Chain A
Amino acid sequence: MVIQALRDQGVDTIFGYPGGAVLPIYDEIFQQNDIRHILVRHEQGAVHAAEGYARSTGKPGVVLVTSGPGATNAVTGLTDALMDSIPIIVLTGQVPTFMIGSDAFQEADTVGITRPCTKHNWLVKDTNKLSATIHEAFHVATSGRPGPVLIDIPKDVQFAGGIYSGPKAMTSHYQPRVKGDLEEITELVAAIEKAKKPVFYTGGGVINSGPAASQLLRELVDATGFPITSTLMGLGAYPASGKNWLGMLGMHGLYEANMAMHGCDLMIAIGARFDDRITGRLDAFSPKSIKAHIDIDPSSINKVIKTDIPIVGDVGHVLEDILKVWKARGRKTEASAVAKWQTQISDWRKVNCLAFTDSEKTIKPQYALQRLEELTKGHDRYITTEVGQHQMWAAQFLNFEEPNRWMTSGGLGTMGYGFPSSIGVQKAHPDALVINVAGEASWLMNMQEMGTAVQYRLPVKQFILNNERLGMVRQWQELLHGERYSQSWSEALPDFVKLAEAFGAKGIRCSDPADLDDAIMEMIAYDGPVIFDCLVEKHENCFPMIPSGKAHNEMLLGMAKTQGVIDSKGSVLV
């Protein structure tokens, strides 16, 4: 019945790991060929792989794990998906209903444990309700602000027969609002017409809304000529080659993007949530602007920043209406003032905030990513990342022209996300070039998934910027803790080339900038999983940077003096 329901929901792939409490479902999987099961090596990997699958396709990812430890291992992935609004359906086995509460073998209160880290979850005690619950779960995961859901299915419920109902029979009271209020939209259009220093600030909500939303965004941005910046989550919604593109904003965002946010008179936030990595010091955040906020989740509006024009609705629908109203009113903007604003932005661009001192002896991580960008940009390319300095550099130096091409753990910041995620992406796009830009420490957190990559011949490229350090932790210790580098180096690292070979994959090591291009080409050309051990400069810091507790216009550039820039108030922030 579970498999029938998944099939009716259009599922083609499940990521999972079997165990005692899900054996009946695994038995069903064995006896069919419609749904492909990918056996991961750890349940956390299954959830991240499903996230990668979901983010690169726009379809929900499906996970199947057993009770107890299977479910608890999935918790990090669930929380990650909740923070980044990724639609995931996790099916967990549970001990039989008559044993629940008896501390049975591999029993855990799964719905209790996962209640705060799912959008919703269910314990199904009656087989007659199983199919309806699965369909409802898909509906909840994908409607409104997407998110992870979990269905806990006791083993006796899996064994029992019951009445199956198809997806069409389902009616749900959960129907989030998608159309924005026309009065508010008109107010925003009026503000667009009058704005002299406008900026679009877009986020993952644009990607989640679907490819059509990205198209509408491009149309609106190009028609108005307003500059646009994006959060880490929203990269690709507007093309990096677009003429109004400012680059990413936030703590490690570009100077021109942050200065534009600080100095604007109209901020149009679209599917973004004013995260603390974006805003910096709240009382100095974009002090002179009128703020419009488009979000499908009413709780995002006014949560941290007071909004002047709030619009609750799906980004795609709202953008369509904005364009309609704006065109109907005569496509007006303050063109000359906006041109002056663009000139100001060009001056900020000249600061060249991503500049770094290159070296002929050692590979600078920025240089490695520049070369990776140069040598892979023509490919059908998908990028995942782990978390840390390499993630920020990847966001700064890699360019994204399309949505759904960039998978990174934004809200939760999960080290170990990128590798399993790249497996999910590659499964969904077998012929694409899938690269996980990683740090060696993050990568080791889920390195067991090499087994999965090799087993299913998924040619994922693990591009590890190896500085033998927890680079971001090291950077903060340098800035904040008097250069006392407590526990932030990677001792006893494996030989990554031999490690790759031990798994039956290919290993490449590169430590000389002169060899880098050839090594990257070799990685791209190899038909199979590759671990690329790129030995980079060990003490490079990630700039530009807004130190904790500072405002957008107080950012540090590459060569800045970093001692004492974070005051005691800022140091308690993360």
Chain B
Amino acid sequence: MSALHIKKGATKHSAYNLRPTFSDVQEKHTLAVLVENEPGVLARVIGLFAGRGYNIESLTVAEVDHTGHLSRITIVTTGTPQVIEQIKAQLGRIVPVHEVYDLTVDGPSVERELAMFKVVGDGEKRVEALRLADIFRASVVDSTLGSFVFEITGAPEKIDAFADLMRPLGLTEVARTGVAALLRGE
């Protein structure tokens, strides 16, 4: 049967596909949630995930519209299609939530994450780390005689791959921002 069409403009909340096929396969979805930037709004979103037992793999949040006081929360979550639909519907119920986008469904989208890596070492390992950083287009943002801090931006998979390579070369600390994502095109 056809998907339910909730017309744009009929509600500020986004359109949900209310006729999912209920499979048991775990899917990873990237959701972008546009919220009113008011106190406690992040607690509401996180509390929803905790209270109803949903997964958060990554979460980023910042104000994106200073005049309209809107923040964008990007959440990467996993669940069965039914759970993903519930998550979107439950997010849509939160009063300060303006829109819920499922970038995985609405896609294609671009996903980027920023990470910083501290690599401690000397000799060959230090040279190798610098060489690999160059291949990955990571830049050096801090350097001592015995360490580097690299900054790298990219899709989460690229950052994972870079972390795997740095580990034997003296990786001691990692800081990652979590995923920020936008739909491609207009």
Contacts and interface: CB of A to CB of B under 8 A. Distances in A.
Nearest to B91: A299
Interface string A175-213: 111010101100000000000000000000000000000
Scoring A177, A299, A309 by chain B CB atoms within 10 A of each residue's CB, the highest score goes to: A299
Contact of B85 (A116, A175, A184, A302): A302
A308 interface: yes
A542 interface: no
Interface in B25-48: 36, 39-40, 43-44, 47
Interface string A291-304: 00000011101110
A298 B47 contact: no
A297 B39 CA distance: 25
B11 A176 contact: yes
Contact of B6 (A119, A174, A312): A312
Most chain B C-beta atoms within 10 Å of own C-beta, residue among A174, A183, A306: A174
Contacts of A535: none
A454 B90 CA distance: 43
A309 B93 CA distance: 21
B82 interface: yes
A299 B95 contact: no
B18 A302 contact: yes
Interface string A440-461: 0000000000000000000000
Given A120-B95, A312-B4, A298 B16 contact: yes
Majority DSSP secondary structure for residues of B touching A: loop
B11 A175 contact: yes
A116 B19 contact: no
A172 to B, nearest CB: 9
B92 interface: yes
Interface residues of A, number: 30
A173 B6 CA distance: 17
A173 B98 contact: yes
B167 interface: no
A173 B38 CA distance: 14
B2 to A, nearest CB: 8
B39 A301 contact: no
B1 interface: yes
A10 interface: no
B10 A177 contact: yes
B96 to A, nearest CB: 8
Q: Which one of A112, A309, A312 has the highest number of Cβ atoms from chain B below 10 Å of its Cβ? A: A312
B97 to A, nearest CB: 9
B89 interface: yes
A477 interface: no
Interface string A114-140: 011001100100000000000000001
Interface residues of B, number: 33
Contacts of A115: 40, 43-44, 47
A189 B90 CA distance: 29
A298 B89 contact: yes
A173 B36 contact: yes
Given A181-B5, A183-B5, A299 B22 contact: no
Residue of A183, A297, A301 with most partner-chain B CB within 10 A: A301
Best-buried of B6, B7, B18, B40 by chain A (most CB within 10 Å): B18
B139 interface: no
A310 interface: yes
A310 B96 CA distance: 25
B47 A116 contact: yes
Given A115-B40, A115-B43, A310 B4 contact: yes
Contact of B19 (A181, A297, A298, A310): A310
A432 B16 CA distance: 45
A361 B110 CA distance: 78
A4 B157 CA distance: 58
B13 interface: yes
A123 B39 CA distance: 9
Given A181-B4, A181-B6, A306-B22, A299 B12 contact: no
A173 B12 contact: yes
A174 B96 CA distance: 8
B95 A140 contact: yes
- Most chain A CB within a 10 A radius of its CB, from B43, B92, B93: B93
A306 B22 CA distance: 8
Contacts of A140: 95
Interface of A: 111-112, 115-116, 119-120, 123, 140, 145, 173-177, 179, 181, 183-184, 297-299, 301-303, 306-310, 312
What are the nearest 3 A-B pairs in CB distance? A299-B89, A177-B11, A120-B95
Interface of B: 1-2, 4-7, 10-13, 16, 18-20, 22, 36, 39-40, 43-44, 47, 51, 82, 85-86, 89-90, 92-96, 98
28 contacts: A112-B40, A116-B47, A116-B51, A119-B95, A120-B96, A173-B12, A173-B36, A174-B12, A174-B95, A175-B12, A176-B11, A177-B6, A177-B11, A177-B13, A183-B5, A184-B4, A297-B93, A298-B18, A298-B92, A299-B86, A301-B18, A302-B18, A302-B20, A302-B82, A302-B85, A302-B86, A306-B22, A308-B1
Given A181-B5, A302-B85, A310-B4, 9 more contacts: A120-B96, A123-B39, A123-B40, A179-B10, A181-B6, A298-B92, A299-B86, A310-B18, A312-B4
